[in-house]
Amino acid sequence: MAGPGQTGRSGRPTLAVVGATGAVGTVMLQILSQRADIWGEIRLVASPRSAGRKLAVRGEETEVVALTEEAFDGVDVALFDVPDEVAERWAPLAAAKGAVVVDNSGTFRMDPDVPLVVPEVNPHAVRMRPRGIIANPSCTTLSMIVALGALHAEFGLRELVASSYQAVSGAGREGVATLRQQLSLVAGTELGTSPGDVRRAVGDHTGPFPEPVALNVVPWAGTAREDGWSSEELKVRDETRKILGLPVLPVAVTCVRVPVITTHSLTVHARFEGEVTVDKAREILATAPGVVLFDNPAAGEFPTPADVVGTDPTWVGRVRRALDDPTALELFVCGDNLRKGSALNTAQIAELVAAELS
């Protein structure tokens, strides 16, 4: 099956990157320059105020064009790294022009006519796209799901309890700028002796967070939902169920924001259909695509964001069987939320589509 835009280099498909000047878009251009060169034209698309800028991709300077319907003429695959409201308006228009849309926003993830895809876990789902749109999971889900999916394929997952420790870059460039500003404000300040020390030092500079993040942890990410849950916690539940094909899987999640720039971490308590062993779990994780097993606590070896930032795999450590349940495993996982957690997974989905179009 040929796409409408296969008129570029050697008949290769044409790719559009929408939101090319944003935080995730910037990482996407780096990833496209690092991975196998399967694309013909790579068209960079952004808001009209960014049109005319030149960005490097594949070692070449490419001019950014404004987001219009005409920007999708001849495009085979369109990667969307834009806010929800932009994706809601423009992704269907791009699909109507003949492009397969891979969307990184939250707009379409739970649409029953839009597959939610992680190539290491459910690559087959990419072909079932009646709306011409494929959704990318949230960065928190992606930091965990590759490792969890590998264990589920062997043991059969039946319950999940997780806590996330989310980097401020999950809140975009504003989140990063806020933490940097807060760290400068608290530097050299006498802290840790009375309630409100950090808040007084930070003042009104809380940015997108409800409490200071510098020298603190904030047990909240997202917006309020019913019964005290946050939107971020419900996303992890709903996306895990959809990706693994387990619509009634019991899931409980607590999302926490921590003073880390990039890389999300999670503690995972996973119960399976039958008894599990650590040796078998370690064997599965050590050979699973997209996973690095880094697990020797006695030698000080376990993943941390400082180890994982800038890398592509999900890193897993602290693998152990639950103390009182032979069917459950405990894990600690880390994943760069801007690479596999956003841009890389989107690029991998696009590559699956490109292989189908060839």
Mean pLDDT across 111-138: 97
Q: What is the band of 2 on the pLDDT scale with cuts at 50, 70, 90?
A: very low
The proportion of the chain whose per-residue pLDDT surpasses 70, expressed as a percent, equals 97
Q: What is the band of 358 on the pLDDT scale with cuts at 50, 70, 90?
A: confident
- Residue 269 known to be catalytic: no
For the domain made up of 9-137+342-357, the CATH class stated in words is alpha beta
Is the predicted pLDDT of residue 5 greater than 70, yes or no?
A: no
For 190, the token pair is 């006498």
- Dump pLDDT digits (tens) for 241-267: 999 999 999 999 999 999 999 999 999
**Lowest-pLDDT choice from 71-75, 188-192, 307-311:** 188-192
Q: Does residue 274 have a known ligand-binding role?
A: no
Q: Does residue 23 have a known ligand-binding role?
A: yes
Q: What is the band of 191 on the pLDDT scale with cuts at 50, 70, 90?
A: confident
Q: Does residue 34 have a known ligand-binding role?
A: no
The average confidence (pLDDT) of the chain is: 94
**Which pairs with CB-CB distance under 8 Å and at least 24 residues apart come from 221-225?**
221/140, 221/164, 221/166, 221/170, 221/255, 221/256, 221/257, 222/255
- Dump pLDDT digits (tens) for 270-292: 999 999 999 999 999 999 999 99
CB 123 within 8 A of CB 215: no
Distances (CA, A) of 63 to 51, 58, 229: 8, 13, 43
Mean pLDDT across 83-110: 97
| 9-137+342-357 and 141-337, same CATH topology | no
Q: Alpha-carbon Rg of the chain, whole angstroms?
A: 21
- Residue 152 known to be catalytic: no
Q: Does residue 342 have a known ligand-binding role?
A: no
Query: H helices then E strands: how many in the chain?
Result: 9, 14
Q: Residue 141, class by beta-carbon neighbours within 10 Å (0-12 exposed, 13-18 middle, 19+ buried)?
A: buried
Question: Alpha-carbon distance 81 to 103, whole Å?
Answer: 7
3-class DSSP state of 320: strand
Is the predicted pLDDT of residue 192 greater than 70, yes or no?
A: yes
How many C-beta atoms surround the C-beta of residue 159 within 10 A? 15
Give residue 10's pLDDT: 61
Is the predicted pLDDT of residue 168 greater than 90, yes or no?
A: yes
Mean pLDDT across 139-168: 98
Q: What is the band of 212 on the pLDDT scale with cuts at 50, 70, 90?
A: very high
DSSP label at 4? T
Catalytic residue among 139, 152, 255, 334: 139
Is the predicted pLDDT of residue 6 greater than 90, yes or no?
A: no
Q: Does residue 156 have a known ligand-binding role?
A: no
Q: What is the band of 3 on the pLDDT scale with cuts at 50, 70, 90?
A: very low
For 164, the token pair is 């996330």
pTM: 0.93
Give residue 276's pLDDT: 98
For 319, the token pair is 């693998």
CATH architecture for segment(s) 141-337: 2-Layer Sandwich (3.30)
Beta carbons within 8 Å of 300's beta carbon, 6+ residues apart: none
Catalytic residue among 124, 152, 205, 264: 264
Torsion-angle region of 125 (φ positive above 0: left; ψ -120 to 50: alpha; else: beta): alpha
> What are the domain boundaries of the chain?
9-137+342-357, 141-337
Question: Alpha-carbon distance 160 to 232, whole Å?
Answer: 16
In our burial notation (b when 16+ CB lie closer than 10 A, e otherwise), range 231-261 reads ebbbbbbbbbbbbbebeeeebebbbebbbbe
